[in-house]
Every structure is written in C-alpha cells, then in structure tokens.
Structure 1
Amino acid sequence: MTSQESAGTSVTTTRRSKITPEREQEFFGAVLDQLREYGYEALTMEGVAAKACCSKSTLYRQWKTKPQLVAAAVRSGRCVKFSGVDTGSLAGDLRSAARAAAQQAGNDTQLVQALGHAVLSDEELRAALREALIEPELAALGAMVDRAVARGEIAADHPALEFLAAQLLGVLRIRPVLESRYADAAYLTRFVDAVVLPALGLGEAT
C-alpha cells in the first residue's frame, strides 16, 4: 500500500468513527426513552441500537459499556428547571420554581425511578444523575436564597433553609408513590404556599 493510499484509508476510518453531535443526541434520546419505558436493568445495547438504527459495535466503540452510555445520556439530558428564575422576592422565586419543576416532573421522576438500584451500585451513574438532575437545581436554589439574604428577606442561618431542597425535590419524587400522579404546577404551588413559605417565615401567598 502506498503512503497516499495509507493516508486515504486513515481519513476514511476517521470519518467512519466520528459521530456528529446530532447523531449522538439521537443515541442519547434512544437511551433515555428505553430507560423510562423499561428501566435500567431491562435496557440493552441491542435495544438502543435498534431504536437508534445503528449497530451495537457503533455504541460499544464510543462508550465501551452500558453504564458509560447511560451516564453520558443522562448528562446530555441535563435541564436546569430553576435557571433564570428571579422575580425579586424569595416567595415569588419559589412559586416560579415550582411551576418550572412541574413541566419536567414526569420525565425526571421516570428517570430517577428507572435508574433505581443501579445508582447505588454504580458510582459513575450516581455521579451522572447528580450532575444532570440534582446539582444544577441545588445551585439555582442556592442563588435564590443568596439573593433573598442580600435583600434582607431572610437570615442566612434560618434553620428551615437546610431543608429547602429536600422539600422541593422530595415532593416531586414522592407524589407518584403516594398518589400515583405526578406533581403538577397547581399541586407544587399549593405545597410552596402551605408548607415551604410558612416554614421560612414568609407567610402565605401575597
């Protein structure tokens, strides 16, 4: 083989192994769909390949293992629900955050439930779940609180602040278990007004 032919072969191989961002998102979408529908244990590389119309070897070449592929897909679905919320008051911010959370409640809850026990035994999956669904919301809630403290609405050491994230994120996860329904905007707003704001000493809706 000549050097020119060798160079041509190298270029061809590189082109074949490269995945465009759009195609990568198709793979990730297939993974997330399979996760929500069947759960982590039942998800297979074969199933993802069939849904994404590709070969198993394509998936294995890029991500090596099922946990690596799932972790990448979870990270790709990162959506900061509370990002950009700034109404000028902590009460207004929390109500807006509740309405924003309701828009993704079904998808997020399904994903958490689908990963189930897998996140307890796989550190990479656990880290991906935190990175995609938990840490962005914690940061956004922290920013809301920091603004409220700066405005003098609430003391930085208010004891209820420690439980704010657990209240808002926890109610999203538990309502499907208790009532077989996702937490919609009306439910979450009522929760904020009846439980969260009084605990913070901010009273009822104004």
Structure 2
Amino acid sequence: MLGGQQVGAGAGVPAARSARCTDSALFAVVIELLREVGFDRLTIDAVAARAHVSKATVYRRWDGKAELVVAALRDRHVGVLNPPDTGSLRGDLIELLRATAAICVADCDLMQALTFAMRTNPELERLVRHQVLPAGRVASTAILVRAAARAEIPPEAGERELFHDLAPSLMMSRIVAHGLPADDAFLTQVVDQVLIPVLLYHPDRPSHA
C-alpha cells in the first residue's frame, strides 16, 4: 500500500498506455517515491503503478531498483551543472558552486536518504560512485580546460583528484549534513582559500612555513 492505494503489479496496464510514459516521466516518479518512502521501501511495483506502466516495461530497460534509481539521478542533473563562461577561473568556480549549492538545497532530503542507503547497499554505492559522481565532473572539467587555455592554471592541474572531490564534498557537508546556508560569502571563501590554491599548488615550490 502507498498513499492509501495499492501499488501492486501494474502488469495489466495496456501496452499502448505504457508506451506513452517517457523516460523523464518515469524518472520523475522514481524521484517522487524516493522522497516519500526512501530507497529501501521503494519498489518496482510502486514505480510501475504510479507511472501507469507494466513492470515488464521497466525491467526491459533496467535490471533492478538500484539501476533505475541511478538512471533517474543522472537524468535529474543533466544540464544543471552547466555554469556560464564568466571569463575567469574565479568567476567560473563561484558560478559552479552556486549551481552545486542550489542542487544540494533542492535535493537535501533526497541526498540524505541515498547517503544512508548507500551504507547498506553495496550495489547502489557502486553505481552511484561510478555512474553519478563522474557525471558531476563534466562542468568542473570544462572550467579547468578554459582556465588552462587562459594560462590561469597549469594544464596538469585539471588531473588533480582532490580538486574534483572538494567542491561537492564541502557543499554536501555544509548544506546536507549540517543544514547551514551556502551564501556567496562562503562560496567565495571556498574558491579563494581552497579550490584555487589546490589548483595552483606546485609540489616543487619551497614551503613558506
């Protein structure tokens, strides 16, 4: 039962009706149910029933719940992290963090539920790590390519794993874990004191300590 209505098989849904459900509509249902019941209680039966498709329609595309959830997450963030070219590395990074912060605020409850589920579901954790997280690097990589072309950073700076991990980790920690605002003062501090120094770090330079 879900919302007072049975969310059973959905197997009797006519094929023509099933065909009208686009991937985006199906993904919207997945996100909706994730918010309502969490990953553990979400079922393919419930998704199929609310989306008015058959379970067979879902299983023809995805092997199981974890694969479907990851596909929905990837679809949700396509095009979101595409900040404009401001003409400078600093400006681009601030815009990237604004976009990242907006996602964290909008999906705070969703991220908390998934983070908890990943601790007990190795398959979900593996899929998120290999299919969702790398997709988030598209925007940051584009920013670094532009910055290297402007000679603001060395070309090899874009290969530093630490940089790509820092921004989302800091946003998640501040907004999702601690419930604090990520205003422009905080974002500027992260860019000026953390991200740019990491990109400009040169291991051969003598320490000033």
Whether TM-score is above 0.5 comes out as yes
Maintained 8 Å contact 1:71/1:129? no
Amino acid in structure 2 at the alignment position of 1:38: V
Equivalence for 2:141: 142
Equivalence for 2:81: 82
- Number of aligned pairs? 188
Gaps of 5+ in 2: 1-12, 202-209
Whole-angstrom CA distance in 1 between matches of 2:129 and 2:185: 27
> Which structure is higher in helix share?
1
Cα distance change on mapping 1:182 and 1:47 into 2, 3 Å = farther
Whole-angstrom CA distance in 1 between matches of 2:28 and 2:87: 36
Equivalence for 1:193: 192
Higher mean alpha-carbon deviation, 160-169 vs 92-101, is at 160-169
Measured on the aligned residues, the alpha-carbon RMSD in Å equals: 3.6
Maintained 8 Å contact 2:45/2:55? yes
Equivalence for 1:67: 66
Amino acid in structure 2 at the alignment position of 1:187: F
Higher RCO by CA contacts (8 Å cutoff, separation 6 or greater): 1
Whole-angstrom CA distance in 1 between matches of 2:36 and 2:200: 41
Higher mean alpha-carbon deviation, 51-60 vs 63-72, is at 51-60
Maintained 8 Å contact 2:144/2:158? no
Whole-angstrom CA distance in 2 between matches of 1:59 and 1:161: 38
Amino acid in structure 1 at the alignment position of 2:88: S
Equivalence for 1:101: 100
Query: Secondary structure of the equivalent of 1:86?
Result: coil
Cα distance change on mapping 1:97 and 1:75 into 2, 3 Å = closer
1:150 Cα deviation (Å)? 2.1
Maintained 8 Å contact 1:85/1:93? yes
Whole-angstrom CA distance in 1 between matches of 2:147 and 2:59: 48
Instruction: State the identity %.
Output: 34
Maintained 8 Å contact 2:84/2:92? yes
Equivalence for 2:126: 126
Whole-angstrom CA distance in 2 between matches of 1:195 and 1:88: 20
Gaps of 5+ in 1: 1-12
Maintained 8 Å contact 1:32/1:73? yes
Cα distance change on mapping 1:42 and 1:181 into 2, 3 Å = farther
Whole-angstrom CA distance in 1 between matches of 2:36 and 2:192: 34
Query: Secondary structure of the equivalent of 2:26?
Result: helix
**TM-score after normalising by structure 1:** 0.68
Equivalence for 1:116: 115
Flag the structure with larger Rg. 1
Whole-angstrom CA distance in 1 between matches of 2:53 and 2:15: 16
**TM-score after normalising by structure 2:** 0.68
Query: Secondary structure of the equivalent of 2:155?
Result: coil
Q: Once the two structures are superposed, what CA deviation does each residue of 1:82-111 show, in whole Å capped at 9, x if it has no partner?
A: 325311211111011111222212345544
